[in-house]
């Protein structure tokens, strides 16, 4: 135990991230005048969004993803084959998040890139090595928003395993559900495999020793020998250890079972405080302090230091619609709601209005103990532009955002996570290290 570096307990830096998805987080945002709905699949669109966020000094961007179309309702087993359940009124389709981040990495220099990558139907080896590659390409700016797939549509798209059996109503109500537990266990295994693979090459494994003709020191490259209930992975990774070593793992969580998963596997947890909408699920109506207490309680059940993990960075999600000269943010949300025909229903609180109001909300959450905020622009690129030009400078003036980075820095550092110890290197006896 003593060989593992004790994570420092100093207060982590307060981070501000941006969550990107399609035309924004309001389902009708694509119909706004300022939206660019025809460009949602164009490389320039994504490049411009991330460029805006980077110039404004945001710490990171996240990219949503799923193995299904957004509006695809659950296809039931007895629905006629090919019956369509798409909603023509909303944005459908996405580029693969990890590959979009990989494409953007050489075009950016300091901002963190956190794609969503799902675990339930994918291969942990592919996921882990692709994330390492993103970390290499970005010079240590990669993160992973881990997500699992509870839905039948995703299962049908792979067709390899029967769809998960779970009662979504019970999950939503935060009640115990065995099907959910199985999915969580599988996701935890995938994360464990990834973390072991990320350490499977020690930093100094490549020796290029002319004397002995060895490129590698094979004693510093490790099989991971993972054996779980559902699958096993022998390792090592095909990718040498990446600049960050351990890539930042983040999870969006609304309920106790996911807080537990975060406590076991993640560095960062996104929470959704102060939202009265039913879409908040088990987090509905809870304050930031309530949710922080729940997260810390989940953490208390795990020896995170032994896993080489720092305390979870708790980041609050907030959908923002900012005032423009022409229209108030609340008016815009109301207008978009009318276009949608229903009031917007987000799992995260929607805050509309002037930047001061948004900043006050963020300050209050910081005082309650959150380590950062992830802003979900209601409309893209409109609200991102306002975040960049008005909100971030104000947050910075109030000590709620970091200075614009002049040097590329690892994403871990932005979260105050420090250098990640290697679980395999630390097992070597001290005399061997010094030999």
Partner 1 sequence: MTQRQARLVAHFPGVNSTTVWSDPDSGSQIDFASFAHFARTAERGLFDYVFLAEGLRLREHGGQIHDLDVAGRPATLAILAAMASVTQHIGVVGTLSSTFNEPYELARQLATIDTLSGGRVGWNVVTSPDAFHGANFRRGGFLPYEDRYTRAEEFVALAKRLWDSWETGAVLADRGSGRFIDEQLVHSVVHSGPQFDVRATGSLPRSPQGYPVIVQAGDSPAGRDFAAANAEIIFSRHADYRAGQQFYRDVKGRLPAAGRTEDSLLILPAATFVIGDTDADAAEASRAIGFAQTTPQTAVAWVEAIWGRELPGLDPDGPLPATEPGAGEQRLGQVSTRVEDRVARAAQLRARAAAEGLTVRQLVAAETAAHTFVGSPETIAAEIDRHVQGRASDGFVLVPHLTPGGLDPFVDRVVPLLQERGVFRERYETDPETGFAVTLRRTLGLPQPPRPARDAVKREAAA
Exactly one of 14, 60, 125, 144 binds partner 1 (CB under 8 A); that residue is: 125
46 membership: H or E segment, kind and range: helix 43-55
The β-bridge partners of 269 are 251, 314
Residues 6+ positions from 356 with CB-CB distance below 8 Å: 394
Alpha helices in 140-287 (DSSP H): 152-158, 168-172, 178-199, 256-265
- Shortest Cβ 236–partner 1 spacing (Å): 6
Q: CA 242, 245, 247 angle in degrees (round to 5)?
A: 95
- Shortest Cβ 381–partner 1 spacing (Å): 15
Site residues (CB under 8 A) for partner 1, limited to 153-172: 156-160
Evaluate whether 40 touches 399 at the Cβ level (below 8 Å).
no
Q: Is residue 92 part of the contact set for partner 1 (CB under 8 A)?
A: yes
- Shortest Cβ 50–partner 1 spacing (Å): 12
Separation CA 25–CA 30 (nearest Å): 10
* N-to-C CA span, the chain: 22
Total binding residues for partner 1 by CB under 8 A? 81
By CB under 8 A, which span of 34-42, 173-181, 260-268, 362-370 interacts with partner 1? 34-42
The answer to whether the bond into 157 is cis (omega within 30° of 0) is: no
Exactly one of 240, 328, 393, 408 binds partner 1 (CB under 8 A); that residue is: 240
By CB under 8 A, which span of 104-112, 275-283, 287-295, 312-320 interacts with partner 1? 104-112
Q: Is residue 206 part of the contact set for partner 1 (CB under 8 A)?
A: yes
**C-beta closer to partner 1: residue 8 or 427:** 427
Q: Is residue 285 part of the contact set for partner 1 (CB under 8 A)?
A: no
Q: Is residue 134 part of the contact set for partner 1 (CB under 8 A)?
A: yes
Tally the C-alpha atoms within 13 A of residue 377's C-alpha that lie toward its C-beta: 31
Exactly one of 4, 7, 51, 69 binds partner 1 (CB under 8 A); that residue is: 69
What angle do helix axes 43-55 and 97-104 make, rounded to 10 degrees? 60
Q: Is residue 230 part of the contact set for partner 1 (CB under 8 A)?
A: yes
Exactly one of 236, 257, 281, 308 binds partner 1 (CB under 8 A); that residue is: 236
Q: Is residue 89 part of the contact set for partner 1 (CB under 8 A)?
A: yes
The β-bridge partners of 321 are 352
Site residues (CB under 8 A) for partner 1, limited to 173-192: none
**C-beta closer to partner 1: residue 178 or 215:** 215
By CB under 8 A, which span of 27-35, 54-62, 170-178, 386-394 interacts with partner 1? 27-35
Separation CA 344–CA 338 (nearest Å): 9
How many CB atoms neighbour CB 10 within 10 A?
8
Q: Is residue 76 part of the contact set for partner 1 (CB under 8 A)?
A: no
Nearest alpha-carbon partner for 95 in 194, 20, 146, 17:
20
Q: Is residue 93 part of the contact set for partner 1 (CB under 8 A)?
A: yes
**C-beta closer to partner 1: residue 29 or 282:** 29
**C-beta closer to partner 1: residue 8 or 41:** 41
Cα–Cα distances in angstroms (integers) from residue 46 to residues 99, 248, 435, in the given order: 12, 22, 50
């Amino acid at each position: 135990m003593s060989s593992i570096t004790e994570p420092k307990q100093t207060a982590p830096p307060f981070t501000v991230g941006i969550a990107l998805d399609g035309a924004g987080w309001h389902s009708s945002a694509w119909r706004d005048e300022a939206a660019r709905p025809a460009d949602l699949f164009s490389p320039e669109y994504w490049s411009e969004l991330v460029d805006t966020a980077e110039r404004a000094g945001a710490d990171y961007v996240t990219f949503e993803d799923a193995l299904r179309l957004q509006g695809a309702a659950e296809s039931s087993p007895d629905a006629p084959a090919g019956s369509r359940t798409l909603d023509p009124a909303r944005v459908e389709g996405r580029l693969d998040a990890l590959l979009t981040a990989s494409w953007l990495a050489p075009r950016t220099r300091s901002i963190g890139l956190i794609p969503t990558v799902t675990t339930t139907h994918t291969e942990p080896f592919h996921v882990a090595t692709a994330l390492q590659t993103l970390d290499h390409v970005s010079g240590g700016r990669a993160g992973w928003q881990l997500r699992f797939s509870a839905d039948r549509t995703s299962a049908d798209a792979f067709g390899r395993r029967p769809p998960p059996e779970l009662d979504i109503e019970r999950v939503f109500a935060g009640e115990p559900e065995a099907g959910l537990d199985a999915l969580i266990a599988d996701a935890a295994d995938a994360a464990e495999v990834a973390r072991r693979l990320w350490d499977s090459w020690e930093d100094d494994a490549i020796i290029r020793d002319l004397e002995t003709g060895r490129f590698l020191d094979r004693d510093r490259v490790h099989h991971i020998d993972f054996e779980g209930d559902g699958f096993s992975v022998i390792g090592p990774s095909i990718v040498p250890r990446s600049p960050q070593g351990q890539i930042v793992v983040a999870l969006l969580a609304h309920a106790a079972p996911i807080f537990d998963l975060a406590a076991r596997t993640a560095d960062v947890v996104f929470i959704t405080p102060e939202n009265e909408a039913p879409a908040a699920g088990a987090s509905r109506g809870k304050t930031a302090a309530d949710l922080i207490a729940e997260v810390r309680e989940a953490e208390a059940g795990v020896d995170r230091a032994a896993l080489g993990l720092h305390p979870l960075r708790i980041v609050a999600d907030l959908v923002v619609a900012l005032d423009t000269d022409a229209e108030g943010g609340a008016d815009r949300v109301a207008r978009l709601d009318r276009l949608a025909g229903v009031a917007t229903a987000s799992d995260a609180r929607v805050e509309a209005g002037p930047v001061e109001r948004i900043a006050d909300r963020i300050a209050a959450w910081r005082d309650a103990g959150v380590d950062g905020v992830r802003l979900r622009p209601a409309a893209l690129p409109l609200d991102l532009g306002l975040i960049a030009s008005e909100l971030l400078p104000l947050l910075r003036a109030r000590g709620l955002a970091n200075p614009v980075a002049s040097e590329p820095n690892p994403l871990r550092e932005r979260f105050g996570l420090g250098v990640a110890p290697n679980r395999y290197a630390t097992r070597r006896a001290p005399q061997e290290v010094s030999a």
